[in-house]
Structure 1
Amino acid sequence: MSRAERQYFHAKELERINHDFASLSGNVNLSFEFFPPNSNEMNSILWNSIKKLEPLQPDFVSVTYGAGASTRERTHGVIEKILTETSLNAVPHLTCIDATESEIETIAHRYWELGVRHIVALRGDKPDERSHTGDFNYATDLIYKLKSLYDFDISVAAYPEVHPEALNAQADLDNLKRKVDAGANRAITQFFFNSESFLRFRDKCAQNSIDVDLVPGILPVTNFIQLLKFARFTQVEIPGWMQKLYQGLDQDLITRQLIASHIAIEQVKLLSKEGIKNFHFYTLNRADLTYAICHSLGRRECFAAAS
């Protein structure tokens, strides 16, 4: 390829990129997920991340809730600090397995008084090899209870590649339908990398009269070895092309970050063209990569200030 041909190619590629990003600017809604820190160092990382992402004005930021409510007070603390010290809409996760009805009522009252109006309602992980002792068996039970107390906006989980415990794909869809019928307003998906899986799942939801917004969960991957461990128990498909991209990069963080941002950006671009407007980023409490991806997608501080 001659120099003139390379220049022409680069110019056309830049034109294509600019067109793609211009079409996304203002049309992509964001939300971010964090988890409560368990050390002073992780606490500093979390709050630096929250402050860095705050100017992007996401629709909301959610905070996870550990298995068996193991992080309950830390989750409450992060939610309260976000609400009192930032401009962000803080959304707590709430699990119900092993929780009593009285405990859920207390938590709901506490959140409502604090100003929380949106909750991510989840069943939670079952206790290891023993029957649970709580009053709730399913996320549906939790949704009914929350809705009976206050008019919370409720998000729930969805699984484009089927929940590991589901009997089959239809049973999983039936469970999501029950959560929607109980009062869920949207479903945030498990992370995935095969966008066709999400689009097929969206079609199946429509066929089953599941008419809430489906929000893709986007996970930028910098630690591919850790991802493989996640994928084994979440049953998320890792495409062969993705394994090839990360091959030989175990000691090359910078290249892994570039690949992670490229994959996430392409996911959002493809799904946006299919009519998806809302995207939920699993930040793992690290802001830099998520910030760079959102910046590349046209969601920037200057955009936020002008909107």
Structure 2
Amino acid sequence: MTTLPISFEFFPPKTAEGVDKLMEQHAILAACQPEFFSITYGAGGTTRDLTQKLVLDINAKGIPAVPHLSCIGDTHESLQALLTTYKNAGIDKIVTLRGDLPKDIDDVANEFHYANELVTFIRQHHGDTFTLVVAAYPEVHPEAKNAQQDLINFKRKVEAGASAAITQYFYNADAYEDFVNRCRQQGITIPIYPGIMPITNHERLARFSRMCGAEIPRWIEKRLLDYQNEPASLQAFGLEVVTKLCQKLITLEAPGFHFYSLNQATPTLNILQNLRF
């Protein structure tokens, strides 16, 4: 039986019905005793209030909730107020991000530009109150000039005070192994948790991957296209692919797994059952 730490990511629904459905999924996944549930934060802070409410509601149920916090579109004052709210609620961990750029970037606050600045800001104002988790990109951030520059940017976040990292999802374990090795060569010793994305829908996965720069290996892409009219076969194939990926990551001594649940319990549960968690 595997006993590595696991965590799950949710995004805040926009309707009361959506929240009710999410809480049903939360109850199912909570039985897995994850380390935490993380809650995303929309581009430019567009889900600020929804994220905050969901974080506080989930945290009150016993298993820690961890808010995502991005700096693009927020001011020093608004972030300080939000951090104080979380601190007073007993939240002690934050996923600290630059955040996606809104379409109308000229119309949003621009007091921060990069995630390392947000990490520095939180450390300056709150010391070690929060464990700060940052993003990592084994296949290179889509806006980075090159892999070396991306590693330098990641190191800046670590030197600013990051405690751990969660990666963008990927389907090539070699990319994760190479990234971790390069980090260790740079003296970066924080745990780097692989982000795991279940495969249940080809069109949605392709769209996400185009947006975030994650690569779908060609052989996987071709197999998914074979199953585009056979959802059960596609899901079975996706489960096999992600299970084998996680098994490989275990041999690489990954410190744990962070699952991008897409607010659905079953796909992640199936992976965990295959891994005998």
- Aligned equivalent of 2:114, options 138, 160, 185: 138
Contact residue 49 and residue 287 of structure 1 kept, 8 A: yes
Deviations 1:27-51 (A, max 9, x none): x210100000012332222111100
Q: Secondary structure at the match of 2:226?
A: coil
Q: Secondary structure at the match of 1:94?
A: strand
- Structure 1 residues 89 and 42: alpha-carbon distance in aligned structure 2, compared to 1, 3 A threshold: same
1:243 Cα deviation after fit = 1.7
Q: Are residues 1:247 and 2:225 paired? A: yes
Q: How many residues align?
A: 274
1:250 Cα deviation after fit = 2.1
Q: Are residues 1:57 and 2:20 paired? A: no
- Look up the match of 1:45: 21
Q: Are residues 1:87 and 2:62 paired? A: yes
- Aligned equivalent of 1:178, options 153, 156, 160: 156
Q: Secondary structure at the match of 1:247?
A: helix
- Percent of paired sites with the same residue: 39
- Aligned equivalent of 2:74, options 99, 102, 109: 99
1:208 Cα deviation after fit = 1.6
Query: Partners in 1 of 2:169 and 2:148 — Cα distance?
Result: 20
Q: Are residues 1:295 and 2:270 paired? A: no
- Look up the match of 1:226: 204
Q: Which moved more, 1:286-295 or 1:248-257?
A: 248-257
Specify every segment of 5 or more residues in structure 2 that has no aligned partner in the other structure, as ranges. Answer: none
Contact residue 45 and residue 286 of structure 1 kept, 8 A: no
1:142 Cα deviation after fit = 0.8
Structure ID, larger Rg: 1
1:130 Cα deviation after fit = 4.3
Task: Give TM-score scaled by structure 2 length.
Answer: 0.95
1:295 Cα deviation after fit = 2.2
Question: How do 1:20-35 and structure 2 match up within 5 A?
Answer: 22=1, 25-26=2-3, 28-35=4-11
- Look up the match of 1:236: 214
- Look up the match of 1:208: 186
Q: Are residues 1:192 and 2:167 paired? A: no
Q: Secondary structure at the match of 1:198?
A: helix
Deviations 1:202-222 (A, max 9, x none): 111111222111110100011
Specify every segment of 5 or more residues in structure 1 that has no aligned partner in the other structure, as ranges. Answer: 1-21, 300-307
- Structure 1 residues 76 and 228: alpha-carbon distance in aligned structure 2, compared to 1, 3 A threshold: same
Q: Secondary structure at the match of 2:69?
A: strand
Query: Partners in 2 of 1:255 and 1:41 — Cα distance?
Result: 30
Query: Partners in 1 of 2:211 and 2:66 — Cα distance?
Result: 26
Contact residue 95 and residue 134 of structure 2 kept, 8 A: yes
- Look up the match of 1:4: none
Which amino acid is 2:69 matched to? L
Contact residue 54 and residue 87 of structure 1 kept, 8 A: no
